[in-house]
Copies of this chain bind each other. A is one copy, B any other.
Amino acid sequence: MKCKICGTKAEVRLKSHNIALCREHFLQFFRRRVERTIRRFKMFTKDARILVAVSGGKDSMGLLHLLNSLGYNVTGYHINLGIPEYSDISVDKVKKFHDMTGIPVIIESVVDELGFGIHEVAQKVHRPICSICGMVKRYMINRVAQKFDVVATGHNLDDEVATLFGNLLNWQSDYLARQYPVLPAADGFTKKVKPYVLVSEYESAIYTFFVDIDYVMIECPYSKHATSIFYKNIFNEIEDHMPGTKLRFLKGFYELRDIFPSTTREKLAPCEKCGYPTTAGVCSFCRLKDKLHHA
């Protein structure tokens, strides 16, 4: 197997693109792909202050590294969820990443905010952990994002395809109408982008490995039975049988997406306690805080 560009020994075979590449040309290929995605969807330019949400996993850490190497003005943002073992390892990897690269990273902690780790919070208010965790992360990211022009997340092709498939199985028109690599700034929320939507999880993992970033290998202990993982496995089977399907499926959707009707969203007003945009008088984060205080 030889590199398609230079003919030396290939290190990577990309079946969906029907090419093999050496390390150097894979890195070039990967960078160009992400750069093209950034330009194509008008995500940000060199003068934007970009906040990259980093979990400590391969995608977000790779993205932060890549954007920095391309000369973008990036800052990482990590939330310590307070989950025993998993969160300790994650924080540790993020700190090591900062020490190695010098890229600034803001770290905030759910325990500092709410007094408990996210799993304890969920238990105390009798809510599913993934839904509470999502809400708290959104709140904290949106809050810190006020000081930035754009928030970038590491969602990759596999993530987006799994989400799309789930939305299609249930024909969730509203979600379909909103599924896009760019969510414009609105109602006091900062613009959000996903520069990795057209690179696969496999490609992202190889990038992060090649640039020698040490990342969290273990999955969140609460995600084990997630439906999204089931959908990802389904699409890996399909991709194996028909290489290129994931990319064709997602790109085709982006072209057609406008046909999905979306309901008009309720008007937002600042939360009476913290100023966060909300449809209720008090936002769900402040209500959670109150609930925990009285629990």
- Contacts from A to B (Cβ < 8 Å): 168-171, 173, 227, 230, 234, 237-238, 241-242, 245, 248-249, 252-253, 255-256, 259-261
Contacts and interface: CB of A to CB of B under 8 A. Distances in A.
A227 B245 CA distance: 13
A256 B171 CA distance: 8
A234 B249 CA distance: 16
B259 A171 contact: no
B252 A170 contact: yes
A169 B237 contact: no
Copy number in the complex reads 2
Contacts of A168: 168, 249
24 contacts: A168-B168, A168-B249, A169-B238, A169-B245, A169-B248, A169-B249, A169-B252, A170-B248, A170-B249, A170-B252, A171-B249, A171-B252, A171-B253, A171-B255, A171-B256, A173-B256, A227-B242, A230-B241, A234-B234, A234-B237, A234-B238, A259-B259, A259-B260, A259-B261
Contacts of A255: 171
A143 to B, nearest CB: 36
A279 to B, nearest CB: 26
Most B CB within 10 A of own CB, among A169, A170, A173, A253: A169
A238 to B, nearest CB: 7
Contacts of A252: 169-171
A169 B235 CA distance: 11
A245 B237 CA distance: 19
A269 to B, nearest CB: 32
A98 to B, nearest CB: 40
A253 B238 CA distance: 21
